[in-house]
Each structure stands twice: as C-alpha cells, then as structure tokens.
Amino acid sequence: MQQMKLLQSLYQQRALGYRYFDDIKSVPFENSDISDMPSTLPDLQTYLSDCSLCNLSKSRKHIVFGEGNPQADIMFVGEGPGELEDNSGRPFIGRSGELLTRIIENVLMLRREDVYIANIVKCRPSANRAPTEEEADKCKPFLIKQIEIVKPKIIIALGATSYSYLTGDMNAKISRVRGEMINFGTSKLMPTFHPSYLLRNPSAKREVMSDMLKVKAIL
C-alpha cells in the first residue's frame, strides 16, 4: 500500500511538471516492498483491481491477474497479455496459450489447472510490444507477491523478456540461458523459449521439451 501511494504521488508530481533525474530502476527481488500487500491471491487481485500505476491501465479492458493452483509447484511467467487475454482477463488463452497447455499436459503430464500462470505485466501493452522497463518495474512487486504466496518449486520464465525482468539481466539471450536452472529466492527458475516463438520456430520445441524434462525430473 505504502509503495502504491508513493508511486501515485510520483505520478501526480510528474503530471505537475516535476521530472526525475534518473529512471526508476528495477525493483530488486530482495528489496521489493511487498510486506504490506494482501497475503492471499483473491485479496491481492482485489487490491490491484483499480491499479493505475502505469500507462497500460489507460487502454486495458481487463487486468490479467493470473490463474491456476494457488499452491502450484510450477509457475509459468510470460511477458504480458495480448488482445484475447485483455478481452477476457485470463492469461495465455490464444494460440500461444493452446501450445502452453499442450506442453503442460503432454510433457509435464499435468493439467493446466495444476500450475499457476502469470505475466510480467498484468495489462496489455499495445500492439503486442514488450513491456517497457518502467511498466515492468511498476508491476513486478505484484508478481513477486504472487510468487511469495504460491511458493512454487520452479518458476518457468517464458522468453527473454520474462527472464530479463525477473532476474534483472537485461542483456540475456534466451537461446544462451535457456535450459539452465538457477536459484531464485526460495524457488528455482528455468528459462525457456516463449510459446509464441515456438509457433514461429517449431523446431525449437525440441529444446523446450528438454527444458521441461529437467523441470519434471526435480518435481
């Protein structure tokens, strides 16, 4: 709440003509001020329901909070909602969502409702662009709180944008980092290709399959 108020006041000051000397930098995982946010997913969703911390709030139809098992062992983190997700309020329901569901069912041998699915940003960036650093910084504390509540054993970062904003490694190449599990707080993090990349490059499914088998092996 405190952080939300601070950000709102910074926004108002900017609207009045004040300028920052520096960009607001990524909120680091350890220092995110999330302790005064609600500690259940439904309460956190309500808390966020009229969020206007960044410009994405102006054009969104729905906040895409995330969905799935609140005690999932696996949490997928994508980039941000597309048009279908914005229309419905649910993550990954288009073609990339169908592919993600197939990976969950056919490789991890789980049901979609057994895992938790969220995104770096909860509102749709226009024209399916990647979220900016500022948008991701505003939204990240809510994702970190979701991770704290769900406590997944493994977070699967879908694509470079998700990996970079989660870890702060902004120059990472997904083709280089994918497949290597790293520690992420009390969870592990496995970077892999984003399903939309797989739709364009079906031959990369082989690598994703190998990444998912590593995930399955430590469940």
Distance CA 95, CA 13 (A): 41
Number of residues that bind ligand URA (CB under 6 A): 10
**Residue (138 or 194) nearer to ligand URA, CB:** 194
Distance CA 72, CA 151 (A): 8
Closest CA to 134 of 35, 27, 50, 1: 27
What are phi and psi for residue 80, nearest 5 degrees?
-175, 160
**125 touches ligand URA (CB under 6 A):** no
Tell me how far, at minimum, the Cβ of 169 lies from ligand URA, in Å.
Answer: 18
**152 touches ligand URA (CB under 6 A):** no
**116 touches ligand URA (CB under 6 A):** no
**92 touches ligand URA (CB under 6 A):** yes
**66 touches ligand URA (CB under 6 A):** no
CA angle 34-37-38, nearest 5°? 140
Tell me how far, at minimum, the Cβ of 35 lies from ligand URA, in Å.
Answer: 27
Stretch that binds ligand URA, among 12-20, 89-97, 141-149, 210-218 (CB under 6 A): 89-97
CB count in 10 Å sphere of residue 111 = 12
**81 touches ligand URA (CB under 6 A):** yes
Residue 218, judged by CB atoms within 10 A of its CB (0-12, 13-18, 19+), counts as: exposed
Closest CA to 196 of 62, 117, 79: 79
**85 touches ligand URA (CB under 6 A):** yes
Of the residues 78, 125, 141, 152, which one makes contact with ligand URA according to CB under 6 A: 78
Contacts of 205 (CB under 8 A, 6+ apart): 198
**Residue (121 or 215) nearer to ligand URA, CB:** 121
**119 touches ligand URA (CB under 6 A):** yes
Residues that bind ligand URA (CB under 6 A): 78-82, 85, 91-92, 96, 119
